Structure 1
Amino acid sequence: MVIDAHQHFWQYDPVRDAWIDDSMQVIRGDFFPEHLKPVLAANGVHGCVAVQADQSENETAFLLDLAGKHAFIKGVVGWTDLRASNIREKLATYAVNPKLKGFRHIVQGEPDVNFLLGEAFCHGITALAEFGFSYDILVYPKQLAATAAFVKKFPEHRLVIDHVAKPDFKTGALEEWASHMRSIAQSPNVYCKLSGLVTEADWQHWKPAHFEPFLDVVLESFGPHRLMFGSDWPVCLLAAEYKEVKDIITQYISKLSDTEQNNIMGGNAISFYHL
């Protein structure tokens, strides 16, 4: 089964979605399951994981409502304030919904590069495991040193790095990012999503070869048993069509065994998110 481990839905709101600036007209609109379903079918993808794009509990409710109505949405990664004093009470409420698989915070937007290591935040992360939830790590390379320390604090948790931590594909700067990623990958409970590549590259002039040195690092470091394909649709549309995004990964991993390819394209997501 092929699973897209990372995509988004939204009903466009110009205030809430102010991050969608004038250069992003192609995604300045509504993106619902009825828009994605035919795209998945045309690309041989059987299901997806819907990930939060807005930091609100309304967003989590919105995604869970969609998942309840559309069987191809196999799981939801939502948002709640993990620093809340009543976090366990919140998670107990969420735990009754089998489609809710984990949570994410947009750490890349936090000015403190050590945000992940905050006491209240780590208290919330500890609570996630008690309820069987995973955590998606969304960071920029400048936050990877803190991420390496963070994952060591939670060796029993299911953790996944989103978008290969957004390295600088435009310049090809590799070494510092690679060093941190290799360190993070030493924790066997941490996975990595092969997602969000094209939007971190030159939107008009990227080539698959631009990503290969970076993909080599995560394949070597995490192994094919801890990597997941994700499209980052509809954000990916800024730089590529869905098929182009999927082809980057399928062509890169074509050198692997059938079992390893199947795991990256779906099996690992099924296992990680308990789909």
Structure 2
Amino acid sequence: MTLKIDAHHHLWRYSPDEYRWISDEMPALKHDFLPVQLMGPLAAAQIDGTVLVQARQTAEETAWLLGQAKECEQVRAVVGWVALTARDLPQQLEAYQQEPLLRGFRHLIQDEADPDGWMRQDKVNAGLQRVQQQNYVYDLLVTHRHLAEAARFAARHDRASIVLDHLGKPDLAAGAKAWAAQIAPLAALPHVSCKISGLLTEPRPPGCEADDLLPFYDAALTAFGSERLLVGSDWPVCLLAGSYEAAWQSGEQAFAALSASEQAAILGGNACRIYGINGVTA
């Protein structure tokens, strides 16, 4: 039986002030999403473990996520948030060494007023260098508009794994060939991996169905290979497009023709290796 690790999902107690990115067009997300609500979908999809990822940029949320993870056996790793430009970053990272479930960090780069400029800041780059010195994974959240700068950013930081979230949020209307060209510089960096997640909720051109997204999965496989792809549900954001099972199965089905070992890597093995997840069996 193939080990399955959901490499990307969220939890939150909803507050309009704290989750301002949840717009009025997303009423399905304006609720609490806690482990108790996730257990059923995980069981139905036969998921063996998960990676819990931050959704707002506060130390308080990171602490809350770690608390939730300690109470939920299925959560095997947490990607939190830390201010890369903080003066006390070394002290924060030292304190986080006491949190064995904390395996990485993420910043909502896509929401910055100038994402390219943010990635070029000296203080940001110095901070990420410190994070990587502690061997933390860094999840990279950008859109297709900033993939070129993201490649330059990632190239400066090769001491630990970097994981591109949601395929870099491609422009679906431009097509998979255009995205493949955009992603090539990032994929050329051996320390960069890519999450097959979030594609179902990206804006689609008229008439674009879920099956029409398969060329993007094929392009990702060509670019990164089976050893650098991970599948994530992006729950509960995926509920904007359908169910948890539909989100997971979209990735599962995209790689159904691969060998058993390649499928095992994409569906769970790579997440275990990159996020340091041990002791999980199918």
TM-score in terms of structure 2 length: 0.93
Report the Cα distance in structure 2 between the residues aligned to 1:204 and 1:71, rounded to whole angstroms. Answer: 41
Amino acid at match of 2:222: E
Please tell me the root mean square deviation across aligned C-alpha atoms, in Å: 1.5
Checking the alignment, whether the CA contact within 8 Å between 1:204 and 1:239 is kept in structure 2 is: no
Judge which range, 204-213 or 70-79, deviates more.
Answer: 204-213
Checking the alignment, whether the CA contact within 8 Å between 1:198 and 1:206 is kept in structure 2 is: no
Q: Deviations over 1:140-172 (max 9, x none)?
A: 111111111111111222100000000122x14
Checking the alignment, whether the CA contact within 8 Å between 1:141 and 1:165 is kept in structure 2 is: yes
Judge which range, 171-180 or 197-206, deviates more.
Answer: 197-206
Matched, 1:157 2:160: yes
1:273 corresponds in structure 2 to: 275
2:135 corresponds in structure 1 to: 132
Amino acid at match of 1:243: E
Q: Deviations over 1:32-55 (max 9, x none)?
A: 001101110111101111100010
Report the Cα distance in structure 2 between the residues aligned to 1:69 and 1:203, rounded to whole angstroms. Answer: 41
Matched, 1:92 2:94: yes
Shift of 1:206: 4.9
Report the Cα distance in structure 1 between the residues aligned to 2:209 and 2:259, rounded to whole angstroms. Answer: 24
2:13 corresponds in structure 1 to: 11
2:228 corresponds in structure 1 to: 226
How many residues are matched? 274
Following superposition of structure 1 onto structure 2, how do residues 60-79 of structure 1 map, counting pairs within 5 Å? 60-79=62-81
Checking the alignment, whether the CA contact within 8 Å between 1:231 and 1:246 is kept in structure 2 is: yes
Report the Cα distance in structure 2 between the residues aligned to 1:58 and 1:139, rounded to whole angstroms. Answer: 23
SS in structure 1 of the partner of residue 104 of structure 2 = strand
After superposition, the Cα gap between the structure-2 partners of 1:90 and 1:70, relative to the gap in structure 1 and judged at 3 Å, is same
Shift of 1:191: 0.3
Checking the alignment, whether the CA contact within 8 Å between 2:135 and 2:159 is kept in structure 1 is: no
Report the Cα distance in structure 1 between the residues aligned to 2:157 and 2:18, rounded to whole angstroms. Answer: 32
Report the Cα distance in structure 1 between the residues aligned to 2:13 and 2:183, rounded to whole angstroms. Answer: 34
Shift of 1:175: 4.3
Report the Cα distance in structure 2 between the residues aligned to 1:265 and 1:7, rounded to whole angstroms. Answer: 14
1:240 corresponds in structure 2 to: 242
Checking the alignment, whether the CA contact within 8 Å between 1:47 and 1:73 is kept in structure 2 is: yes
Report the Cα distance in structure 1 between the residues aligned to 2:68 and 2:42, rounded to whole angstroms. Answer: 16
Over the matched positions of the two proteins, sequence identity in percent amounts to 38
Judge which range, 122-131 or 265-274, deviates more.
Answer: 122-131
Q: Deviations over 1:161-193 (max 9, x none)?
A: 000000122x14344432231111111110000
Q: Deviations over 1:76-95 (max 9, x none)?
A: 00001011122111111111
Checking the alignment, whether the CA contact within 8 Å between 1:6 and 1:195 is kept in structure 2 is: yes
Report the Cα distance in structure 2 between the residues aligned to 1:135 and 1:21, rounded to whole angstroms. Answer: 26
Report the Cα distance in structure 2 between the residues aligned to 1:62 and 1:34, rounded to whole angstroms. Answer: 15
Gaps of 5+ in 1: none
Gaps of 5+ in 2: 278-282
Checking the alignment, whether the CA contact within 8 Å between 1:49 and 1:74 is kept in structure 2 is: yes
1:193 corresponds in structure 2 to: 195
1:146 corresponds in structure 2 to: 149
SS in structure 2 of the partner of residue 125 of structure 1 = helix
**Aligned counterpart in structure 2 of residue 80 of structure 1, from 73, 79, 82:** 82
Q: Deviations over 1:225-273 (max 9, x none)?
A: 1000000000000011111111211111011001110111110000000
1:123 corresponds in structure 2 to: 126
Checking the alignment, whether the CA contact within 8 Å between 1:3 and 1:266 is kept in structure 2 is: yes
SS in structure 2 of the partner of residue 64 of structure 1 = helix
Checking the alignment, whether the CA contact within 8 Å between 2:180 and 2:223 is kept in structure 1 is: no
Q: Deviations over 1:90-137 (max 9, x none)?
A: 111111110000000000011213221211111111111221211000
TM-score in terms of structure 1 length: 0.96
